[in-house]
Structure 1
Amino acid sequence: MIYEKGAKMKIRELVGGSAFLCGPDLTMTQAAEEMSEQKIGALAVTEKGELIGVITERDILRAVAQHATLQTTTVREWMTTDPDTIGADVNVEEAASWLLTAGYRHLPVMDNGELIGMASIKDVLWSVFDASKVADA
């Protein structure tokens, strides 16, 4: 089992202290390529070391649907600015509830004002699911 602590696990343990980052002037094509290469659905957008947004696969789909030229359109034009974040010491069960209620697939994880990772609904739910399997065994 990957997440032995399950629902009682803190979100900081799940994200492992890393997030995939990009700058706001990256093109949408470059962002899509990075997401594809890393097999992720979102990038944290940073500028001067600060989190300023999140760009997701949904944002790229919206840009395509609106006929944006992805090779020249920048992440800054389509990212979610001033994104909601979650604290590093929130347990994964709470994080799952928040992600589902808010309709988010990805949420930046912050610790004392610093980005330490990106929580995905998939990873959070698998963690909770694995914990419930152990409880039922």
Structure 2
Amino acid sequence: MQIQYMMNTPPVCVPATASLENAALRMADAGVGALPVVDGDRVIGVVTDRDLVVRAMARGRSAQMPVGEVMSTDPVTIEADTAVAVAILIMRSVRARHLPVVAEGRLVGMIAFDDVFWQLTQELSDLAAVVDAARKIPQVFRGTDKAPLLDC
């Protein structure tokens, strides 16, 4: 499966000039923990709820400070057609729980580790249901018991 089938779209994002307060409100309204920071449709950074707390609030920064001053710059992005397994490896290698998803360099979505986790959990649950149903099929249909002889 590819990331494009489980990413959040349309992505909620902010420009680098947006205030920290505006970014926090956008996160709260969308129920997300990270926002891509964009210049047009190009990702130039990522700001997380942790950035707002550790890089801003804990240092007494103004809520009106631009997001561009606390965002993580040069963010890792992934292409929309990236396989889920590859996306997980990328997230682990860069220690990120959120990645902007791009197509030809343009922002098209956002993926969070939680999105991947819940999708894979659902797929495992579906597979378990199939296995459970297969266990209930009578042995005769599996070809392990001999069918009764018919009197003709």
Shared fold (TM-score greater than 0.5)?
yes
Q: How many residues align?
A: 128
Q: Paired residue for 1:27, among 11, 15, 19?
A: 19
Q: Paired residue for 1:83, among 65, 72, 75?
A: 75
Please say which structure displays the higher CA radius of gyration.
2
Relative contact order: is structure 1 or structure 2 higher (C-alpha 8 Å, sep ≥ 6)?
Answer: 1
What's the secondary structure of 2:107's corresponding residue? strand
Alignment-derived partner of residue 131 in structure 1: 123
Code of the residue aligned with 1:27 in structure 2: it is S
Query: Could you tell me whether the CA contact under 8 Å between 1:93 and 1:128 is conserved in 2?
Result: no
Query: Could you tell me whether the CA contact under 8 Å between 1:92 and 1:127 is conserved in 2?
Result: no
Alignment-derived partner of residue 40 in structure 1: 32
TM-score, with length taken from structure 1: 0.85
1:58-104 CA distance string (max 9 Å, x none): 1101111112112x211000011110011111122322233234321
Q: Structure 2: where are the runs of 5+ without partners?
A: 130-152
Q: Paired residue for 1:107, among 70, 82, 99?
A: 99
What's the secondary structure of 2:6's corresponding residue? helix
TM-score, with length taken from structure 2: 0.77
Q: Structure 1: where are the runs of 5+ without partners?
A: 1-8
- Identity among equivalent positions (%) equals 33
CA RMSD, Structure 1 to Structure 2 (Å): 1.5
